[in-house]
Amino acid sequence: MIKFEDVTKIYQPETVGLESVSLHIQKGEFVFLVGPSGSGKSTFIRLLIKELEPNKGRIFVSGRDLATLRRWKVPYLRRNIGCVFQDFKLLPNKTAFQNVLYALVVTGNANSTSRKKAAEILALVGLGHKAGSLPNELSGGEQQRVSIARAFVNHPPLLIADEPTGNLDPETSMGIMQLLYRINKTGTTVLMATHDREMVDRMRRRVVALDAGRVVRDQQRGGYGED
């Protein structure tokens, strides 16, 4: 699903984002990307969705070499990647239902069954009863569930979650993690960047640790720190 081959990204002035990173993530994996602030997690994600270009190396997503991807095809790449963020990024003037439906509209998948599909996904994340609520009428955990529903409504093969529990309390965070785990069980590859030590230790999934732009640990069923 994801392949980095000797990828380096240097910012100016001479600030290293990633350095000589080689990594394979298979279809259907659940992978935690961990490391301190400035370790390269955000750079890794921005390279994956082609917000940034590497200075060296090659990146493949679903077998496609991103270096050969024409600029006008980048939106099509992103339509096959669901993204969930720490700050939710919901449209404030649209209801929970409209936020999810909007993801179908902008990706060109709106059709006669779209409203039914959006309602089903909201029910899947436990918010069918809040379909008519605006974001400011929802709790932080509920807003994140809407964000996940929006990211998943197109059933992307890859879902990237960037600190999705960063603003949530431990109990709500566990609910979000269980939801991401259920999505992963449907076959979607999940890559989650996080600082949540307790969550990573409890889940025991593959852990890729970055430090100063380099992969310093790649461990199956790992914890947040060295075991």
CA atoms within 13 A on the CB side of 164: 32
Q: Name which of 83, 19, 24, 91 is nearest 50 in CA terms.
A: 83
For the chain, the farthest-separated pair of C-alpha atoms sits apart, in whole angstroms, at 52
Residue pair 205/30 in contact (Cβ under 8 Å)? The answer is yes
Q: Which residue has the tokens 């649209």?
A: 94
Residues whose CB is less than 8 angstroms from the CB of residue 167 and which lie 6 or more positions away in sequence, other chains included:
86, 87, 140
pLDDT for res 227: 55
pLDDT number for residue 225? 81
Which segments of the chain does DSSP mark as H helices, in order?
A: 41-48, 74-79, 96-106, 114-124, 140-152, 170-185, 197-203
Spatial distance between the Cα atoms of 20 and 213, rounded to a whole number of angstroms: 8
Give the pLDDT of residue 19.
Answer: 96
SS3 31: strand
Instruction: Judge contact between 46 and 54, C-beta under 8 A.
Output: no
Question: Looking at the chain, which residues constitute the CATH 3.40.50.300 domain(s)?
Answer: 1-80+156-227
Q: What is the DSSP string of 32-47?
A: EEE-STTSSHHHHHHH
Which pLDDT does position 168 carry in this prediction? Answer: 84
Residues 6+ apart with CB under 8 A from 29: 1, 189, 190, 206
Phi then psi dihedrals of residue 19, to 5 deg = -135, 115
pTM: predicted TM-score of the whole model, two decimal places: 0.90
**Residues of the chain below pLDDT 50:** none
Supply φ then ψ for residue 214, to 5 degrees: -115, 150
Give me the pLDDT at residue 71, please: 85
> Cβ(159)–Cβ(190) under 8 Å?
yes
- φ/ψ of 89, rounded to 5, equals 60, 40
Question: Which of 191, 195, 187, 186 minimizes the C-alpha distance to 205?
Answer: 191
CATH class of the domain comprising 1-80+156-227: alpha beta
pLDDT at 10 (0 to 100): 95
